[in-house]
Chain A
Amino acid sequence: MPYDEALERFDPVLGLETHVELGTASKMFCGCPTEFGAAPNTQVCPVCLALPGSLPVANAEAIESTIRIGLALNCSIAEWCRFARKNYFYPDMPKNYQISQYDEPLCTDGYLDVVVDGRTVRIEIERVHLEEDTGKSTHVGGATGRIHGADYSIVDYNRAGIPLVEIVTKPIAGTDAMAPEVARAYATELREVMRSLGVSDVRMEEGSMRCDVNVSLMPRGSAEWGTRTETKNVNSLRSVERAVRGEIERQAAILADGGRIIQETRHFHEDTGRTTSGRSKEEAQDYRYFPEPDLLPIAPDRDWVASLKAALPELPSVRRARLKQEWGVSDLDMEAMHNADAIDLVEATVAAGAPAADARKWWMGELARRANEAGTALAELPITPGDVARVTELVASGALNDKLARQVLEGVLAGEGTPDDVVEKRGLQIVNDEGELSAIIDKVLADNSDAADKVRSGKVAAVGALVGGVMKASRGKADAARARELILEKLGVS
């Protein structure tokens, strides 16, 4: 069903569960390293392989990071809590259980504010808890390389036991047509909070941040929530938005047809933006949680928690408010920079000496266009904030105009060196030599005598064509304003 029609008939309710791998040097319960991309089963030991007689000991840094995340999300920090065993038989965990937290999470009842189209939406946080990541299975045989139809699987336990924080929202209702954008804005803001805390590299493409998206629909006017589905495998911010949208459309079509939604896990497909059914959850899962006997309870000291809270860095929303003020830009400009992931870049460019307006202009204009063309993130472009600051400086000093500046940026992106190198190699300086400029103008006036006569007879507007001719003849290197002055002077109308 088309999205607009779906929204006319139904009210979407969202829930987001986000897993974040902490950036600790060692695993959650053992000393194995946590490097991404290491050769299979090179970062495993008796503890994370669950060999007999091994015992886990909790990583102090991971506990601290989780509490800091909770504090940054305005949560209450438990005075006393325990780990729990989540029992299930599946080869991604060699123990046949995952150490997690159940009814005693470290952090509860917080919130995170996000801004969508200038409107602030408060996302309530249900809980933040700490657990261990699972191993990575590769399914062999069958047509699709997926678990269904596979002949067997092979497992790498390097990831098993990496500290994993799960952040769960309360149901998010009342966002209407904005639901997909709200989901994306939340994931974006959460990622930035993690970055500002320095607790994770939050790389969605490497799986160090993963979102599960719950969606249900209520018929308009109903107060009863619908059955929800949980979509996994959502590996980019854009996919979060697309997954919500796709699921709203899919569910609306089923409900409008008189069908019912099955409570199930669904898998998101990046190529189509659609979801397909995973295992059904109709049979209630029975993980037989119980307190983990191998690990002692956690009782964070209140003074310690207070000191962690006092030492929190400036949070992204506070920082954005400060920068908006310093840069003198509108809410919408700020939101645009935020959505383009340009704030860090603009800030660094300003720090390198550029005026904020110029820094914003180049990153959000020419460079955003280039990044878009190349299908890459702004920060991945091969140009530094220092380069951009230098270009703004060259423009401000009159050595370049905007057109030449764009060519300089193009040269830097093409790997031709620093802005000064590009100016030098491509000969991009504005023609400041009055004699050279004068010669060009004389030629242009001679070649365009009709236009010259019009200007002489008082039709000053015709000067534009002449200035254009000079710019063309100088291959864009003339100072247009100066050329105009000189032309008018030569034609005796100044």
Chain B
Amino acid sequence: MSAITRDEVAHLARLSRLALADEELDHFAAQLDQIVGAVARVAEVAADDIPPSSHALPLTNVFRPDEVRRSLTPEQALSGAPAVEDDRFRVPRILGEEA
């Protein structure tokens, strides 16, 4: 079982746009390692004849007909937005200094 490294946590944090301090990287590396370790125990009980699965229910082909349903009004849609401009969600600058 490979341990989650500090570098991996830093990489994940960057992908997730999270600013973590150095001591937090060590802290979370240890925690994530425990979580991954716990989940990995599933592999110990899975026999060769048990295929990997992603869904708990043995269902397939659950679709909806192509029918239009009422949308929210823009007021409703934007009511939870931290910032709004021209009926659009206003978001901070997307590319940071590194871009």
Contacts and interface: CB of A to CB of B under 8 A. Distances in A.
Interface of A: 24-26, 30-33, 39-46, 49, 51, 57-63, 80, 82, 87-91, 137-140, 147-148, 150-157, 279, 286, 288, 290-291, 293, 295-301
Contact of A58 (B17, B63, B77, B89): B63
Contacts of A291: 54-55
A26 B60 contact: no
Contacts of B80: 51
B78 A41 contact: yes
A60 B94 contact: no
A300 B63 CA distance: 12
Contacts of B64: 31, 57-60
Contacts, number: 135
Nearest to A135: B89
Q: Which 8 A-B pairs have the closest CB atoms?
A: A31-B69, A61-B66, A291-B54, A60-B63, A154-B88, A299-B60, A40-B87, A91-B91
A91 B66 contact: no
A140 B77 CA distance: 21
Nearest to B91: A91
Interface in B53-99: 54-55, 57, 59-74, 77-78, 80, 85-95, 99
Given A33-B71, A57-B64, A297 B55 contact: yes
Contacts of A301: 61
Given A58-B63, A279-B99, A91 B89 contact: yes
Contact of A299 (B16, B61, B85, B87): B61
B19 interface: no
B27 interface: no
Given A89-B17, A154-B86, A286-B11, A44 B95 contact: no
B64 to A, nearest CB: 4
Contacts of B61: 296, 298-301
Contact of B90 (A32, A89, A148, A154): A154
Contact of A44 (B60, B71, B94, B99): B71
Contacts of A39: 74, 87
